[in-house]
Amino acid sequence: MGKQKITAGIDIGGTNTVFGFIKENGDSLFSSSIPTNSNEDARKFIIRLTGEIKDSYKVYADNYTLTGIGIAAPSANHFNGTIETPSNLKWGKVNFVTMIKEYFEVPVAITNDANAAALGEYEFGLGKGLKNFIVITLGSGLGSGIIINGNLLYSESGLAGEFGHTIVKPNGRYCNCGRAGCLETYASANGIRRTVFDLIARYTQPSELRNISFNQMTGEIISDLAIKGDPIAIKAFHYTGEILGKALANLATSFVPEAIILFGGLVDSGELLLEPTRNHFENNLLNIHKGKVRILKSTIGNGMAAVLGASSLINKKINNNPIEFDISNNIEKNN
Ligand SMILES: [Zn+2]
């Protein structure tokens, strides 16, 4: 019997990098993670990452063939293989695909992390069977992957779908992108922490959050305290949901998706965030769209949507088009 084909999917996050070997049917054969170490340069990171992948692959090499590597990363450009000055990492602009190919002789493709999450939902999650939907990732920032008429929206530059950097509050909070008032400074794990500190300063109510430093505070802590009835934590979720819901209503007015799928660490808070988000979303939708756009929580577990989506970049290419990823072959651009 011949070897089964697997692809490697890699999801580079600001804190951790998750990688896995994915079978052709989308089942995960193996997954693991390494710390991203945001202060390290890209070369050192790639040496660590490729070393881990090679070591892990040795265990499976007798029975499986690695057919390609798909990567999801912040500020990644699918068309030219670069990662350009990600705000959470100190890499500058690097051609990540070219660098990874120095260590593996297989096709390598990259896309923005939220785009990869959208591909993961499309092939294996709640997006199955949908032709028009949007995935919003709520991690340390806010990313978006937009699928319209069954195609991921890249646009000419490959950089479409930066919904987190739409300005929702003129002269609002400063953002890593250099501007002020971006959605992700409110609706993200970092955004809700900033909201908690604003609320602590504004209100006099007792709250356990007053005893926690900014760097120790996490979305999980805020959500646990909200469940226990902490008034500041509850207000923080209401405020975050209000801003997110209104922004998503604007997004839905432009794209009219069948569903908006929320994914990422902050979404683990469940209805605490989803309920106010849905209410403000529905109240701010155009009448003709009311009741027609679902806001859903991703069902793909353990943050694997981006890993699955990244791996499917390779399957698609190998199944549909044998041309190896290269700057000169903008395969999906020309479809
Ligand atoms: Zn911004």
pLDDT at 330: 40
Residues 6+ apart with CB under 8 A from 235: 199, 203
CA of 64 to the centre of ligand 1 (A): 42
pLDDT at 328: 36
167, β-bridge pairs: 182
CA of 80 to the centre of ligand 1 (A): 23
CA of 224 to the centre of ligand 1 (A): 28
CA of 203 to the centre of ligand 1 (A): 27
Q: Give the residue, 160 or 283, on which the prediction is more confident.
A: 283
CA of 166 to the centre of ligand 1 (A): 7
Which CATH superfamily, name and number, covers 4-117+303-334?
ATPase, nucleotide binding domain (3.30.420.40)
- Closest CA relative to residue 298, chosen from 258, 263, 257, 248: 263
Q: Where are the domains of the chain?
A: 4-117+303-334, 130-297
Task: Read off the tokens for 51.
Answer: 């070393």
CA of 93 to the centre of ligand 1 (A): 18
CA of 102 to the centre of ligand 1 (A): 33
The Cα–Cα gap between 308 and 297 comes to 17
CA of 37 to the centre of ligand 1 (A): 23
Would the CATH topology of 4-117+303-334 be identical to that of 130-297? yes
Task: Read off the tokens for 283.
Answer: 């109240």
Residues in the chain: 335
CA of 169 to the centre of ligand 1 (A): 11
pLDDT digits (tens, 9 = 90+) for 40-55: 999 999 999 999 999 9
Q: 130-297, which class in CATH?
A: alpha beta
The Cα–Cα gap between 46 and 36 comes to 10
CA of 170 to the centre of ligand 1 (A): 12
CA of 318 to the centre of ligand 1 (A): 36
pLDDT at 1: 65
Contact 119, 309 (CB under 8 A): yes
CA of 179 to the centre of ligand 1 (A): 6
For residue 102, the Cα-to-chain-centroid distance in whole angstroms is 26
CA of 175 to the centre of ligand 1 (A): 5
CA of 140 to the centre of ligand 1 (A): 13
CA of 83 to the centre of ligand 1 (A): 17
CA of 182 to the centre of ligand 1 (A): 5
CA of 263 to the centre of ligand 1 (A): 19
pLDDT at 264: 87
Which region, left, alpha or beta, applies to residue 276 given φ > 0 means left and ψ of -120 to 50 means alpha?
Answer: alpha
pLDDT digits (tens, 9 = 90+) for 166-202: 999 999 999 988 999 999 999 999 999 999 999 999 9
Among 67-71, 112-116, 175-179, 313-317, where is mean pLDDT lowest? Answer: 313-317
pLDDT at 316: 66
Q: What percent of the chain has pLDDT over 70?
A: 93
CA of 304 to the centre of ligand 1 (A): 26
What's the CA angle centered on 302, arms 244 and 108, to 5 degrees? 95
Mean of per-residue pLDDT scores for the chain? 90
First to last CA, the chain: 35
Q: Which helix (H) or strand (E) holds 306?
A: helix 305-320
Residues 6+ apart with CB under 8 A from 254: none
Output the CA–CA distances (angstroms, integers) from residue 208 to 178, 224, 228, 307, in the order listed. 32, 11, 11, 36
Flag whether pLDDT at 331 surpasses 90.
no
